[in-house]
Structure formats: C-alpha cells, structure tokens
Structure 1
Amino acid sequence: MIPDGITLAQPHLNFYDFGPTPFVALPDEQRVSYCLYVPKSFVSADKAARRHWRLIVAMHGTGRTAAAYRDHFAAFADAHDCIILAPLFPVGLIEPGEMSNYKRIKFHDMRFDQLVLDMVDLVGRRYDIDVSRVALFGFSGGGHFTHRFLYLHADRLFAASIGAPGGVTLLDDSRDWWVGTRNLRAVFGVDVDLEAMRRVMVQMVVGAEDTDTWEITLKPGMPGWMEDANIAGATRIDKIASLKAGFEAAGIAVRHDVLPGVRHEGLKVVGAVQDFLADAVAASRA
C-alpha cells in the first residue's frame, strides 16, 4: 500500500517499488535476481517527466555486493532523476562454488547479457521509462562483464564505465574469444559494431595502487585458461591500458581515470564513476 496523502502517477506500483527495493527473482530465470533504487521523486512523475528519467545498471564484482553498489548510487539517482538496477548472479550457478559465471557473458546454458536485458526491459515496462539505451557500470568482475556486454550490445548503451577488470577481451580480430573478438559471431551470433561503440560514452577506471596479480594471472589448467590469456599485461592497470589502446585505435573515445591512493576497492571509485555518469546522463537527454 502507498501511504496516505501520496498519489501515484503509476497506480500499479506499491510502497516497496520505491527507495531501495527488495531483491526480485527474474520471472523467466529464477536462479537470478535484481534490486533497484527508485527515488521518491518518481512517485508522482507524470508521463512527460518520465521521458527524462534514465536507467543505470550497476554490476557487482566477485563478492556479489550488489546492494552496496545500489546504495552508493542512491544520492546520485536522487540528484539526476535516475533509477538504479543492480543484478545479482549468485556463486555456484550450475557448478557448485563456481564464482565467475557471468564475467565472460556465456556459461553453460546461461547468457548473462540477455538476462540483464530482460531485467532492463522489465523495469522499463513497470516504471514506464525509456530503456532503449541505458548506462552500465561494473568494477572488477563487473568490469569483465561491462566491456564484453559493450561488444555485444553497444546499441543498448549510452554509457559504459569499465572498472578494473582482472581480465580483458581485446578488440582484436586475430585472436578468439575470450582473449580477442575474432570469432564473436560463432560464439554469440553477432559482430562487433564499431559505429555503435563510437556512440557510447566510455570510461575506464582503476586505482593507481591496484597492482596485485595473485588472482588475475592465469596458468594452464586454471578456469578460463587459454593461449594468450595474459597478453594484456600483468596488473589491472596494465590490462585497462591495453583495452584503452585497442578502443582508441578503433576510434572509440575513452575517459581514463587512474585514481591516486586507491587499491582494488570498488566503492572508492564510485565518485569518479558518478562524475562521468553525470555528463553521460546529461548528454543522453540532449
């Protein structure tokens, strides 16, 4: 129920559809879920006002701190008329204890890019906002997901913030997925759309002290190992630099933020990400 004295422009919504929402299972794939932050100012937004609202997807890392990212974007959402969507892809989907399921987009019978698009479209219908193009942020494991999603669905993004991935897929048609993009059509049924990627505002962000390599150096026999798995460099700083070089060589503009004093600490990059997204949201409305 909606508290007395509040009139909803969308009467099908209820009290728990605003503010920080509960996690909700995706109807057609109940192994995964999502939560939202919906500013209270949306409660009375009419159809004309809703045209200006934007959806920002915040993808968690390996630690699955989806609600923490959602909450850290709440003030931004209030200030910029945005809804925040935070997917949750649990550890142990299909394979007990498996932690990286979503990072390379496809895992067994699951396509995590399509699951995120299903969530986006559900939110668009429920709140009656334009989700034809959204912003996507991810740090660490979320950074893995974000740049690979960009290769597949640039037409659905107005902004992509790629935070400190431990492994990158280079824009490289001489190597196969996941190291490069040569066989993207064979794996996913699409080709890289460089023109669409050039229309997306892109940020790459990493801490200047993010130099540990113990978790991200792949060796034969490890999950995800393939030839040239480490070609982009040893540290996350190196990998971001290699990814950026490939984007820029293809004519894709990149904002590159290397944050002083920051290690591999996702919540400490949120301020720089929000600076970027403020410009991207404004540009999307223009």
Structure 2
Amino acid sequence: MAEIGRRRLEAQLNHATSGDISGGRHSQRQTMHPSLEYYLYVPNGWTQTTLLVIMTTGDGDKLKEAFRPFADKQGISILSPIFPREDGNYSFLHHNGIRYDELLLQMVHEARTENVSIVGDKFLLYGFGAAAQFVNRFTFLHASKLLGVSMGDPTNVTQLDDELDWPLGTKNCNMKKELEIDDLKQLQVHLFIATNTVKTSCTMHLPNELDLLEQSLNSQGVVTRKSIIPAESTEEEKCWYAVMNFFADAMKISNSLTT
C-alpha cells in the first residue's frame, strides 16, 4: 500500500459518532482525510455476521436505511466507505497517489479487528452507477477477498480482455498486482440494469456496457446472474430487492459449501 495511504489510515481519529438503531449499532468514523470516513452497522442478536460493503454514489443514507432490515434478518454487518465523489476518479482505483482499493481493504480489516462478530475472510460487495465501476475493477484485482458481488448500471466498464488497454480492458493494468482470474471464476457475480432508462445520446450506451462486461466474463468462464429491472436509471432503490435476493442466495450457496 502506498505510504501516503497508510499514514492517513493510521491517523488519529478526530471524529466518531455511534448509536443504536434498527436493532443494531452503527458508527461513522472520520480521520483527517475525508476519503477515510466510513459507516459501519452491526446488527444485534448475531454472534457471527457476514460483512457487506456498499459503495455509494452519494451519502447513501436511503440505501443504508433500506438495507438495515435485510442485515438484521440475514446476519449481515454493513460497511460503507465515503470516498471523494466530485469527479468519480476513485472508481478507477488509483488517483493522485491514493489506492482506493487498498484503502477499502484496510477499512474492512479494521472493522473485523474491532468487531468480533464479523467473521470470515471474504465479504459481499455492491455498487450502482459509478460505484459499480469501482466494484468491477476491484473484483478483477481482489476476487479472492470476495464472497459475491452485485453491480448495476455501470457506465464505463472494464472488460476481462487482455487485448484492450486498462481501463477498457485488462492489458497494461499498472496496479502492481496480478489479476485474480482463477478466484474470479469461483465468484458469484450479479449484473443488473434498469430497463426504462430514457434512450438519449447520453444513455444509449448503458445496456451495451453491461452486455460487454457480461460477455467478457462469460468468455473467461465466469458465471454471471443477470437481472433486468423495470425502473429508470435514477431509481436505484427499485433495484435493491434484486440485490438483496442475490446476496441471500450467495450466502446460502457459501454456507452449503462449507458445511
């Protein structure tokens, strides 16, 4: 990890809030750098929980509130990083000397260390829109860390294609880390799109982008699950039921393989 990222992550916390809500406890922690703020929700009544990381394109309050009942029922702790979103550059994993993928892994490590109920060495990961682009690229580099991923309406995908230069494909991916293709083939992957998107010159590419990603994954032996949801591209909340259903199934499959 870049030294600048390590120093910031280990910086003294100057702000933290916590409390009990929706049958669980939550906290929001902030260091001296805004990219290191993250939200964590741990449900009560569970001695063991699976970690779900939610990448958001805004403050994510509505999303986190919607997922809390699901977390309470399924035994899921929710971690949501709050990265800078002014230009969406975090979705490319590396920007201005900061490796956002490695920062996320450090946050996950911290959450597990400080909460004994968060178990397992893998986590679930979700993103929509620009956040889905982060999920897309993170998955290629860190598939071994993941239990299942769900990404919706990514506008600029990275294909699993070593003939296309990064970030369109995986050729010349200068991340100082090998792609985890073998682990990717074992991963449960969910792709979805809102089909009622108005077909303007700015949005015509949406279905094609998702199709390109799906085709590139399938061609390399990665099995995907795809949902086509009747909603506008701005109505992410109408897609959440499909995401929750996928994660519930992913956990069942994982549990069946370990028992």
Report the TM range for the smaller structure's normalisation: 0.7 to 0.9
SS in 2 for 1:86: strand
Name the structure 1 match of 2:79: 85
Give the deviation of 1:267 after TM superposition. 1.4
Alignment of 1:5-84 (within 5 A): 16=19, 19=24, 21-26=26-31, 31-42=35-46, 45=47, 50=48, 53-61=49-57, 64-84=58-78
| Cα distance change on mapping 1:31 and 1:246 into 2, 3 Å | closer
Name the structure 2 match of 1:280: 250
Name the structure 2 match of 1:9: none
Q: Distance in 1 between matches of 2:178 and 2:199?
A: 34
SS in 1 for 2:64: helix
Q: Distance in 2 between matches of 1:183 and 1:15?
A: 43
Higher strand share: 2
User: Residue deviations 1:37-62, cap 9 Å, x none?
Assistant: 221224xx3xxxx2xx200001012x
Higher helix share: 2
Q: Do the aligned residues in 1 keep the contact of 2:231 with 2:238 (CA within 8 Å)?
A: no
Name the structure 2 match of 1:207: 194
Q: Distance in 1 between matches of 2:27 and 2:51?
A: 17
User: Residue deviations 1:178-214, cap 9 Å, x none?
Assistant: 1110112xx1112222210011100001111124555
Q: TM-score, normalised by structure 2?
A: 0.85
Q: Distance in 2 between matches of 1:120 and 1:37?
A: 12
Look up the equivalent residue of 2:196 and give its one-letter code: E
Q: Does 1:153 align with 2:142?
A: yes
Unmatched runs of 5 consecutive residues or more in structure 1: 1-13, 92-97, 217-233
Q: Do the aligned residues in 2 keep the contact of 1:213 with 1:235 (CA within 8 Å)?
A: no
Name the structure 1 match of 2:158: 169
| Cα distance change on mapping 1:215 and 1:241 into 2, 3 Å | same
Query: CA-atom RMSD, angstroms?
Result: 2.1
Q: Distance in 1 between matches of 2:124 and 2:31?
A: 20
How many residues get paired?
Answer: 237
Look up the equivalent residue of 1:125 and give its one-letter code: T
Q: Do the aligned residues in 2 keep the contact of 1:206 with 1:237 (CA within 8 Å)?
A: yes
Q: TM-score, normalised by structure 1?
A: 0.77
Stretch of structure 1 that moved more, 153-162 or 127-136: 127-136
- The share of aligned pairs that are identical, in percent, is 28
Give the deviation of 1:30 after TM superposition. 5.0
Name the structure 1 match of 2:10: none
| Match of residue 183, structure 1, among 143, 150, 172 | 172
Give the deviation of 1:99 after TM superposition. 2.0
User: Residue deviations 1:208-257, cap 9 Å, x none?
Assistant: 112455556xxxxxxxxxxxxxxxxx421111011000000000000010
Look up the equivalent residue of 2:123 and give its one-letter code: V
| Cα distance change on mapping 1:137 and 1:80 into 2, 3 Å | same
| Match of residue 109, structure 1, among 88, 97, 103 | 97
Give the deviation of 1:16 after TM superposition. 2.6
| Cα distance change on mapping 1:253 and 1:30 into 2, 3 Å | same
Higher radius of gyration, 1 or 2? 1
